[in-house]
Amino acid sequence: MTTVNEKIGEEIRVQARKMLAEGAVVAVIGYGVGSLPMTARPMVARRPEDCDKLIWSSFCVLNLANYLPEVLKSVEPPHGPRDPKPPEDSLPRVAVLATGCWSRNIVVQIQEHQVARTRVVVMGVGSRGMVSRRKVESLFPGKEILRVEEGDHDLVIHGADFTETINRWSVVRDNCQTCTHPDPVLVDVRIGDPVSERKNPKPFKQVEEIERLSVDDRWAWFTTEFSTCIRCYACRNACPLCYCPTCFVDDDKPQWVGKSLDTVDTGLFHLLRAYHCAGRCTDCGTCETVCPMGINMRMLTKKLNKDVLNLYGLEAGMQPDAPLPLTTYTLDDPQKFIVTEAPSAKEGE
């Protein structure tokens, strides 16, 4: 019996091989087998015979949109900085696998002119939610997991001296559990069956739990949550929104954020990193997944997503023709936070 993911994997291999053989694209960004159980390694297939290595599983947690601008640049014919750039439609095209959130990231990249729409072939896969390796490992403390077999609705975990079956949805990542748009918004080649929009009554439940705390408790939450950060910048490097040639954390004239492990410096880094994703983040959860310390930095971007939706009614990457929330304005944007002149005049706030 083949599972849904195996079927999707076979379709990916067939389509990728076909596009590479026909010359429709020169590279396909997808996943290969990871070197550890419960991992999948992002890979770029450049020849039809590479396509046999492509897979699809519940552990495809890294956002492939992150690699897209770089791969697109790598397939351009060499030209110097002063040479005129060849017209976009004459440049080779690249195919990329995309679930709901990754496809929205690609939309944002197109809106921000990092990626030309004509050069991308989006292989759309409806997401069934990706499994958090950390959640699975926490179920088996002190035991090493050697192999994981995937069924459609459960995972069979094999260790040296145990075999256990667990429910798949119970270990799906938090951001996938609260996801409302699992199906790609941009599809050139459809892989597998489309999945329907999910009705989620409380997509911002975790954020609201924190909002309900008092100011001091929120500060306590913030300082403890981010105190373990080791500033490896994995969250930044794995993020498809972070493509600035020089990140604000690497600036030293002026140096916005200190480079030490002081809690103030790590806190400021996370606040500013999240803020730079405001109105652009699609809650793909990659930052949280790659964090070696298990910090839930997604809470900050999720809070910003919530505000952008509530204040401006926009969700990143959902409207390819609309401008990004922070690159536009309306004349009557909410401004409750503005200080009016006299203390007595702000009773209405």
Partner 1 sequence: MTDQNDNWEPKIIAFLCNWCSYAGADLAGVSRFQYPPNIRIVRVPCSGRVSENMIMSTLKSGADGILVSGCHPGDCHYISGNYFARRRFALLSNLLDFVGIEPGRVNFSWVSASEGEQFASVVQSVTEKVRALGPASRLVKKLDAAQAA
Q: Does 92 bind partner 1 (CB under 8 A)?
A: no
Cα distance from N-terminal residue to C-terminal residue, the chain:
61
Nearer to partner 1, 221 or 243 (CB): 221
Q: Is the dihedral of CA 187, 190, 191, 195 positive or negative?
A: positive
Query: Which of 126, 267 has the CB closer to partner 1?
Result: 267
SS3 category, 271: helix
Going along 17-104, which residue ranges are E strands? 27-33, 40-45, 94-98
| Contact call for residue 203 and partner 1 (CB under 8 A) | no
In angstroms, give the least distance from the CB of 192 to partner 1. 36
Cα 301 to Cα 319: distance, rounded to the nearest angstrom: 19
Shortest separation between residue 254's beta carbon and partner 1, angstroms: 7
Least Å distance between CB 316 and partner 1?
13
Contact map string, positions 105 to 134, toward partner 1, x by CB under 8 A: ------------------------------
Q: Which of 304, 315, 316, 317 binds partner 1 (CB under 8 A)?
A: 304
- Judged by CB under 8 A, which stretch of 82-90, 96-104, 156-164, 209-217 contacts partner 1? 209-217
Name the phi and psi angles at 235, rounded to 5: -60, -40
169 binds partner 1 (CB under 8 A): no
SS3 220: helix
Residue among 124 and 267 whose Cβ is closer to partner 1: 267
Strand partners, 18: none
Query: Per CB under 8 A, does 339 bind partner 1?
Result: yes
Binding positions for partner 1, 241-300, rule CB under 8 A? 248, 254, 256-258, 260, 262, 264-265, 267-268, 271-272, 274-276, 278-279, 300
Query: Nearest approach, Cβ of 240 to partner 1 (angstroms)?
Result: 20
Q: What is the spatial distance between Cα 53 and Cα 123, in angstroms, rounded to a whole number? A: 17
d(CA 269, CA 274): 8
Instruction: Kindly state the smallest distance separating residue 181's Cβ from partner 1, in Å.
Output: 21
Contacts of 29 (CB under 8 A, 6+ apart): 42, 43, 44, 64, 67, 68, 71, 94, 95, 96, 97
The helix (H) or strand (E) run that includes residue 154 is: strand 154-159
Residue 338 near partner 1 by CB under 8 A:
yes
Query: Shortest approach of partner 1 to residue 297 CB, angstroms?
Result: 11
In terms of Cβ atoms closer than 10 Å to its own Cβ (0-12, 13-18, 19+), residue 179 is: buried
Binding site for partner 1 (CB under 8 A): 207, 210-211, 215-222, 248, 254, 256-258, 260, 262, 264-265, 267-268, 271-272, 274-276, 278-279, 300, 303-304, 307-308, 311-312, 325-327, 329-331, 333-335, 337-343
